Structure 1
Amino acid sequence: MKGPKKRTVARIALLVALPVIALWSFPRALGVFLPMLSPFLGLTSVVATRTVGIALAGTLPMTALLIWRRRFFCRYLCPVGWVSETCGKMSPQPWRGYMRLPRLGQGAVLFTLGGALAAVPFFLVLDPLALFIGTVGTTAYWGYGLCFAGVVLISLLFPGLWCVRLCPLGACQDLVADLKNLAGRNRSGGTTVVTDAGQVPRRIFLGLCGGAATATLVNHLPVAGDTVPLRPPGAVDELTMRALCVRCGSCVRACPETILHSDLTPPDLTGLLLPVVRFKAGHCRDDCARCGEACPTGAIACLPVEEKNERKIGLAIVEHEACLLAREIECGVCAAVCRRGAIFQDFSKDSYTASIRIDAKRCNGCGACLPICPPRAIRVKVPLCSDSSGHNPRATARTLRQWSLRAGL
């Protein structure tokens, strides 16, 4: 089998393998596999989360291959690239004018890495592998499908434009390959001489600084909306979540209770397709941490079950007017089902009535009490913490650990 045919077979094999892994493999596999294939995901998530772990270890072999052979992944493995090339060959009148366009993909990569320094990697969601995986087995598969269809349409109308000028994963591979050009070899002595810092391409400096500066400004902006959506346990703060999450849907597929959904009705577009917790029939089990295991970027921390159970999703709040106890009907199933002992039934000798009280220190917002409540009088909510600039998501995250007992009032 000749080289081009081998490359085609390899790319088609990965095109089939990725959905299979997403649907039938254990969650941890995809959380490691995506960063291993995509240096754009792996390197950016390491910078954004300040965490060196399996994601970085998986990225290093591919990074080494890219330094040795430019765009190795694009040429030999990328399934999205194969789809793009195939569509380009079907174009009746190929337009090559895109070669005069700037390399927007490289600008996006540098801007994203710069933003990651301030925990806001802007264009991470454009990683083609994450978009492709999101079309399989998620509640918002059509949204991911539209994004993937956009890549196909670009390839049909302008063959080569996506891969050469727009794709951030391909641009990241070019930048990695250029690392070897930062060192020159002294021909006379045979020793390696590192180029002066002033010779580093200006676009790299401007891209990184521009991304970092913009991310710093964004960090001080208020989050739109009156409430913060419920996020999986171990998720980063709301502002970082909107940038670090690549909307791949891995956590949604991994959840055995199906309480995670891709958000189709966010307060603003920056929250579109982010994982949101909705307690309809299930709850967050205390023996499960699959969402963190499946996350490829660290937007949801991979934690031991014991530590995951200490991370708050929200706080259970009782609507006392709707509670059966307010109607003098005997109940208490919520207190019986709570494994953390966070729900109490208080009795008032003055009014001779009983009421439910939530211990905010013990409650982690798992939602076990919601589906079992007969009148549905319990909900889980993240109260906002405001400052002079409006809603501050970072302050809200800190407040989750400092709630008082007011939640039961």
Structure 2
Amino acid sequence: MLQKKKSLFRAYNLRKWSQALSLTAFLVLLIYLDPLTTTDFSARNIFLHLSPLSGLGASIAAKELVTPYWPALVLVAMTLFMGRFFCGWVCPFGATIDLTDKLFKRKRSSETSTGWKLYDGRRLKYYLLAFLLLSLFLSRQIVGWFDPLSLATNTYSILIHPYIVALLAGVFDFLQGFPIIGPLTVPVHEYSDKILFVEREPFYRNHTAFLLIFLGIISFGLVFRRYWCRNLCPLGAMLALASIGAYIQRRVKDCEVCGLCQKGCRMGCITEEGRATQAGECILCMDCQEVCPSDAIRFRGGLVPKLQEVDLSKRGLVTTCLASVVAVPMLGYNFPWRSGKGHGVIRPPGSVDEGEFLARCISCGECMKVCKTNGLHPTLVEAGLEAAWTPRLIPRIGHCDYTCTLCSHVCPSGAIKPLELPKKQRTAIGKARIDQSRCIPWVGYAGLPALNKDWHDVNCGVCEEVCPVPTKAIHFNTYTDETGREIRRPFVREEVCNGCGFCEYVCPVVGRSAIVVEGMQPQLLVKFEESAESGNGGVFPEVIGEWTLLASPLVYTGENGLYEYIDGAAEPYLSYSYRQVAVARYGDVHGREALVELWTFAKDDDAFGAYTYDRSGNVYDLGDEASVFENYVWVWKGRNYVRFEPSVIGVSPDEVRVIAEAVLDKLPSGRSVRPTLLNYLPAGGLLEGRTKFFHDRIVLDNISISDEVIEENVFGLGKETDAVVAEYMLKEGQPSMKLMLVKYPGADNASKAWKNLIELKKSWGESPLLEGTLQCFEDKSGRYSTVYNKGRFLVATFLAPDRISAENYTRAIAAEIPSG
């Protein structure tokens, strides 16, 4: 018999290439789901949206047509014409089973062997389809447990991808221990992480259960090829019903009845004589055409050929319906949710109400795959059997990132509604609860009488530090005993807590966290603070060039508002006449952000003081006065001080200037002058941008004026005093000198500070070199300082490299300041 000539582009090869390309595309879309979602790539869910089974389930649950599943309608239409081609040419789960079946090729028993009694009657998948469809009408959605596209997504995202990442990490960690090979493996490891898009080593709870399920499915390959597709796949059953009258069918002519096609059929759907095909079972894999020695098999259009019908009995269908009616209600036994007694699972932000969520969710696992912190994990029976394999947040493993909305944008069925970032940040997925029997400060408070030197160690505040809510959802109740020992006891402000779980994630208590987040349904929006008012006020433009206002600005008013915004860092600003700070965030199309803070004070001088407290770098031409360091900009204008902080290095100062000018244009016009006290400073040698204006000691504590520690308020500083510290460079290459000028409410206050400073210097072992109103001292390192008092003014120099300069600068100021 002549061997027929085989074309490279024959249907059999085209099918293999199509299957390989489809599986590759599926894996690429899954591995790079995070960046594809970030860039809003619309086709990222194309494979899940190809399932008419999931689409039907989601639509019945939503009681409306879920339009993202339109590709499923296209697939059904193509199946009506081309037959069940999807299973053999496109399905990624079918391709996976083909790969595993090849591994079992030598171990596989003969399909005609009588040694195995494994069912292969093809009816079971139709009964399972009927069971699932009836369960939908009984308001139970378990389609995702059996949909092959959901199974494929879970197989690769929760099993195979994490296993490969862990395996490679282990191999590279081992190789890095070798002196020569080790350094060479580092770039290879980094490259593999980029290819696999590894931001962290993923891990999923309950993955063992799915591993057993997957191993069970592929182990059927020891007996039959494509057993899942033959007997269990409900999507295959649905497509089989649609393909029975298809135009494209397997057709046989001039058959020699050699039996090769029947033996080689991976679906086992060819009758013994080789001519007929079981109805709806052919997946157009082209195996039979490839092995046929007489070229008698063709796949082409025409009248429906002779088909062998699948024997579906009425008894079987009735039994399936009865089983569904009896079993499906049992799936709803979900005591934690229905009792509403707390300890509920935490659903992803944007999840619809629990009942609808369970009806919509197809258990595909995409939200878990895309979670940046690896905080989303599949449930098993924690929320009832009905909720098995639906997502839940486990904060102890990973919290809900305050700036992330990925999970809400990848959900294919609408179980998680898309959320924009401002709304997501206000959506409460749960509430934190503090276990006072485990919380370190609360336990320390209970045992405070027994604590001695270690009482400071119980003031743990990690949960408050990491809380991403701008006004902090965790505050402290401070207790002070009679000896002055303070215990800061944390408490949760439920009205602003969004249940992100960051506090639970970082809690240092070993084992179960001392602060635990409990899920809540329905998910509600948290309220804004009374001190954090939403509103633009016309100061922050909505659009500035390529920059767009990301959310309504927040305004923090008064002392309490500032503490809520920056907590312990508030004191220096409160030493000025602080009124409020308005905070806005701008972003551009490249994902860059810039923080803009508009501080308002009661006096121009105090706005200038706050500006000098923060500023750094070089002088910049903006507002009344400005400074720039790299791409950070600080601007003083009248009673306002504006701070610009880009989130990334890639934002240039010129880009920040564009934002700054747009905001400054909204402020009152006119130009303010510096505080009068600065007019008395000598100009020679003054370093620009190194002058600090302030009132209280708390600002001076952050300025280095001496090598010695000044623990007490020697200068008698307070809200009624005006003070300035300036820095001078006397000669190139020499250390700089600090000059301090203080104006007091009265001459007595200035005289007392003068005496206190002299006594302090003497306590350091410094002897006066010059007696009188102007006194000069030399410290242990050979540098000089002066102290001078005139009326309500105190003048002092510190760290001068020579005595003459210290005395001359002091006398220069003495000649300028008034006597009264």
| Fold match (TM-score > 0.5) | yes
Say which structure is richer in strand. 2
Residue in 2 that maps onto 1:135: 155
Q: Does the Cα contact within 8 Å between 1:48 and 1:118 map onto a contact in 2?
A: no
* Shift in Å, 1:257: 1.7
Deviation per residue, 1:120-149 (Å, 9 max, x gap): 222421122222222324234554444333
Q: Give the whole-Å Cα distance in 2 for the aligned partners of 1:276 and 1:401.
A: 17
Aligned: 1:44 with 2:57: yes
Aligned: 1:21 with 2:68: no
Identity of aligned residues (%): 26
Specify every segment of 5 or more residues in structure 1 that has no aligned partner in the other structure, as ranges.
181-200, 383-395, 404-409
Residue in 2 that maps onto 1:235: 351
* Shift in Å, 1:255: 0.8
Q: Secondary structure at the match of 2:111?
A: coil
Q: Which amino acid aligns with 2:403?
A: D
Residue in 1 that maps onto 2:400: 284
Specify every segment of 5 or more residues in structure 2 that has no aligned partner in the other structure, as ranges.
1-8, 159-202, 247-312, 446-457, 527-820
Deviation per residue, 1:323-352 (Å, 9 max, x gap): 454335556554453416433434689999
Aligned: 1:73 with 2:60: no
Q: Give the whole-Å Cα distance in 1 for the aligned partners of 2:314 and 2:424.
A: 43
Q: Secondary structure at the match of 2:517?
A: strand
Say which structure is richer in helix. 1
Name which of 221, 224, 232 aligns with 2:333: 221
Q: Give the whole-Å Cα distance in 2 for the aligned partners of 1:115 and 1:78.
A: 25
Q: Which amino acid aligns with 1:364?
A: N
Q: Give the whole-Å Cα distance in 2 for the aligned partners of 1:356 and 1:84.
A: 54
Q: Give the whole-Å Cα distance in 1 for the aligned partners of 2:505 and 2:97.
A: 46
Q: Secondary structure at the match of 1:357?
A: strand
Change in CA separation of 1:162 and 1:353 when aligned onto 2, cut-off 3 Å: closer
Q: Give the whole-Å Cα distance in 1 for the aligned partners of 2:370 and 2:325.
A: 35
Larger RCO, structures 1/2 (Cα 8 Å, 6+ apart)? 1
Deviates further, 240-249 or 358-367: 240-249
Name which of 394, 401, 409 aligns with 1:293: 409
Residue in 2 that maps onto 1:356: 490
Q: Give the whole-Å Cα distance in 2 for the aligned partners of 1:335 and 1:322.
A: 16
Name which of 255, 266, 291 aligns with 2:371: 255
Aligned: 1:4 with 2:17: no
Residue in 2 that maps onto 1:196: none
Larger Cα-atom Rg = 2
Aligned: 1:275 with 2:391: yes
Change in CA separation of 1:219 and 1:135 when aligned onto 2, cut-off 3 Å: closer
Aligned: 1:114 with 2:245: no
TM-score, scaled relative to structure 1: 0.73
Q: Give the whole-Å Cα distance in 2 for the aligned partners of 1:335 and 1:83.
A: 47
Name which of 469, 473, 479 aligns with 1:339: 469
Q: Which amino acid aligns with 2:131?
A: F
Q: Secondary structure at the match of 2:500?
A: coil
Q: Give the whole-Å Cα distance in 2 for the aligned partners of 1:297 and 1:178.
A: 29
Name which of 32, 39, 46 aligns with 1:33: 46
State the Cα RMSD in Å: 4.2
* Shift in Å, 1:62: 1.4
Residue in 2 that maps onto 1:397: 521
Q: Give the whole-Å Cα distance in 1 for the aligned partners of 2:234 and 2:16.
A: 22
Q: Does the Cα contact within 8 Å between 1:119 and 1:240 map onto a contact in 2?
A: no
Q: Secondary structure at the match of 1:313?
A: strand
Q: Does the Cα contact within 8 Å between 1:81 and 1:163 map onto a contact in 2?
A: yes
Q: Which amino acid aligns with 2:497?
A: C
Q: Does the Cα contact within 8 Å between 2:376 and 2:392 map onto a contact in 1?
A: yes
Residue in 1 that maps onto 2:418: 302
Residue in 2 that maps onto 1:148: 214
* Shift in Å, 1:254: 0.3
Q: Does the Cα contact within 8 Å between 1:340 and 1:362 map onto a contact in 2?
A: no
Aligned length: 369
Change in CA separation of 1:125 and 1:220 when aligned onto 2, cut-off 3 Å: closer
Q: Secondary structure at the match of 1:261?
A: strand
Q: Does the Cα contact within 8 Å between 1:31 and 1:295 map onto a contact in 2?
A: no
